[in-house]
Amino acid sequence: MAGQVYYEDIEAGSEIPALVKYPTTMQLVKYAGASGDYYQIHYDKDFAIANGLPGVIVHGWLTLSFLGQMVTDWLGEKGTLLKLNGSYRGMNKVHEDIICNGKVTKKYTEEDRNLARVEIWAENPQGEKTVTGTVVVTLPSRA
Amino acid sequence: MAGESVISEELNKLLNVEFGPEVYEIEKGMLKKFAEAIEDPNPRWLEEAPPTFPASLVPKELLNKLFNADIPLKRLLNGSSELEYFVPIKAGDVISVTAKLTRLRQVAGAEGPTLFMFTEMTYTNQRGEVAVKGKNTYIKY
């Protein structure tokens, strides 16, 4: 992880360090157990195909968790996450990279807090955006 | 046109009814298991909940009713999730989850009708502080 990011370091258009994840069927089983989401499309290939899916697909929440990790890695100890949202637009398959990206769209101060709005998205190897969302964060100031 | 309504009386009756609270004791082991499942090695998550942890504090009563409702649409996908953080959830907390269905919307999809079910959750800690508010959209198709 790089050093602490400060409000003064960013501007609209700043990109945050990307994170690449590679979920396996085993990870989906672990996530099912940890989250309580046992919907079979996430670990039972026959069930997934019978439901018209290409195979086992990654939980949307798991991909959003990857995006969350990217953001909290970037925020470091002194930044805080205020809001996180994601829309599940496409499917991520297992045994494929999920590329997590983020870009600052706005920085502003409100009630003495240094805030930033960051557009976040996950892509599959074909470059399709499978999850898109935004986060709102506070960042520490060098002042 | 969306065609004939798939929204049953059973589903309509759930609108704006608050379910819960369902109570979750946040043990260290739960946090560790969740962090391991998402493969986020940040040591902070041994004591504090990572951002998407509220996904595991499932409002089962409402979701069971939504997912098992007797409607012609059997397939389910998660549409979107939204979380707003007020107070960190930490090991040792006792979180009460309440949930409600706020809206049902039927649209005509490429393969027939699609139903969007909008839900809202509130996660309150043992001090009565709202720790997190969440929204989730589920899609039946």
CATH code assigned to B9-25+57-140: 3.10.129.10
| Structural domains of chain A, ranges and CATH numbers in brackets | 12-23+59-138 (3.10.129.10)
In whole numbers, what is the pLDDT of chain A averaged over residues? Answer: 96
Pick A85's closest partner by Cβ from B40, B50, B80. B80
User: Residue B4 has what pLDDT?
Assistant: 81
Pick B38's closest partner by Cβ from A52, A65, A87. A65
Total beta-carbon pairs less than 8 A apart between chain A and chain B:
93
Radius of gyration from C-alpha coordinates of chain B = 17
Tell which B residues from 69 to 88 touch A, by Cβ distance under 8 Å: 75-85
Res. B40 pLDDT band, cuts 50 70 90: very high
**Contacts (Cβ under 8 Å, ≥6 apart) of B103:** B15, B116, B117, B118
**Contact criterion met (CB < 8 Å) for B42 and A73:** yes
ipTM: 0.95
B29 interface with A at CB cutoff 8 Å = no
Q: CB neighbours (10 Å) of residue B33? A: 15
H helices of chain A, in order, are: 25-35, 45-50, 60-75
Average pLDDT over every residue of A32-36? 96
Q: At B102, phi and psi to the nearest 5?
A: -105, -20
> For residue range B107-138, what is the model confidence (pLDDT) as tens digits?
997 878 999 999 999 999 999 999 999 999 99
User: Residue A143 has what pLDDT?
Assistant: 85
**Contact criterion met (CB < 8 Å) for A62 and B38:** yes
